[in-house]
Structure 1
Amino acid sequence: MRAGRAVGLVLGVAADAALGDPRRGHPVAAFGRVAQTAERVLHRDSRSAGVLYTGLLVGGTAALGVVAERVARRSPVLDAVTTALTTWVVLGGASLADEGTAMGRLLDAGDLDGARGRLAHLCGREAAHLDEQGLARATVESIAENTSDAVVAPLVWGAIAGVPGLLGYRAANTLDAMVGHRSPHYLRFGWAAARLDDALNLAPARLSAMLTAACAPVVGGSASGAWRTWRRDAAAHPSPNAGQIEAAFAGALQIRLGGRTVYGHTTEQRPIMGEGRTADAGDVTRGVELSRVIGSVTGVLAAAAVVARGARGR
């Protein structure tokens, strides 16, 4: 089973890089529709309702993963195929790179209106009044955060818990994106989803920052800058996890991130991370390449960790 899981993780990473997201009938989109239906039934302005909502959806999804993995145990090949398909479905590396590349091209061409419209594919920030530097900064921060959330973290949980880990993590992360907001409507109801996502990302976020430092030289970045900025600036970020890799990206690319950040429901004054110049279109492109390298390295490390655990078990 360990060999099948390791092979499946590597194949899933390769499938995501080569094929991108499934073009039709994406399971994550189907989960989102189920979650929306459940929200209409269960939503109350209370934390207990949110705990029930989150527990049912994340627990139910992980339980499906347990069933699938038990069936797959009958054959190493079936185990590898099941893990590979699940990994491919839950990873978001290719779509993240595609959106980042599109933003880089729009900014490089000076098409700010196009970039403002495209930013919604990466994050929920208010883009109407952002200039080129603001759009570039938002894009780099989103690429960094999603490298941790949509690439590193699922692979970590896949290595630890196989198919149930992959599915359970992606369910929790999706719910956080849907209801884990600080808006009045979700402040209490979305509390459980947000806190669960924070807990599941504590270790992966810090691993992501370390990998950012290790991989920075591949894209002409600074390993020492990434490490220094991560250790110095990450803790000031309002998120216990997003600031880890955002600070590391800032140091790796030798730019400044953070500052005034406007969402539809609130405005935040985030701490400045890094030093030097502000981000531009070229930094968006380098950020995309750094994200790709981190994803590939994480896939190899996840598979190696599975094999090592299996060897110790024997």
Structure 2
Amino acid sequence: MRAVSQDTFGGPDVLHIVDVPEPTPLPSEVLVRVRAAAVNPIDAVVRSGGFPLLGQPPFTLGWDISGVVEEVVPGVTRFEVGDEVYGMPFFPRAGNGYAEYVAVPSRQLARKPAAVDQVHAAALPLAGLTAWQALNDAAKVAPGDRVLIHAAGGGVGHLAVQIAKARGAYVLATAGAAKHEFVLGLGADEVVDYRTADFTRELKDVDVVLDAVGGPVGRQSISVLRPGGLLVTIVDRTDLELRAATIDAGRRFAGITVEPDYVGLEALAELVDAGKLRPYVEHALPLAEVAKAHELIESGRTRGKIVLTA
């Protein structure tokens, strides 16, 4: 089968197609024929060596997949051959998603939402589970909550806006001017241009902030939270100074690391099929153009997601 590999850390040009044996599923696993695999910002950081999550190369990147079950190991009861599934296998260990086949524990998969194709389903797991685990599990967003989503036009952000809205929140967002119409179309009630305006002056009495930017944004966000409000960060989760500053200000802090979660995947699929959540894919490229996909993800200008088709 074809897969993407790299022999060294570096730029997008280190990524290349190789021919490797199909994986053999172990007990509790199914073999999935991958039809689409999303590219996430973390993929580029791992590829470059900036975050050596997978150790030294060679390795195959990719965690977001959507495809068709090709083989079921006896004892697995959740799926049958021919089922369309999607998921985020093994994160943060190697998921090997940039490939034509992957072997995946059945409980790290869910049935693909019926309302979208394989490309859009592949765009959902990592970013969607991040937003779901932040807003549903950590924040328990309820109707009427004022929720601020930073980087609302990005991969996590554009899904978080829709999830918060589906839960009945009043959604505030930050995004560049070029993405305002897009973010408002997702359901945001107010959008602030972070390049030309100070969101700390524009917004107040926020119940939940979801920070997907990091750096000074988290600390600045403390002041817009109401007393007892919650700062959720998916970037600076280990920043003890940020945590202390948030708590000292009378607010709450949660750092999120996304986890494989078939219950969350099923909840996301329900929202998609109910018309309340739509992953946006700006670029869908063949597997052979993986280097171009990484160039695009590193530009920081993408709306929604980038997906590879296998």
TM-score, length-scaled by structure 2:
0.24
Structure with a larger share of its residues in strand: 2
Structure with a larger share of its residues in helix: 1
Larger RCO, structures 1/2 (Cα 8 Å, 6+ apart): 1
TM-score, length-scaled by structure 1:
0.23
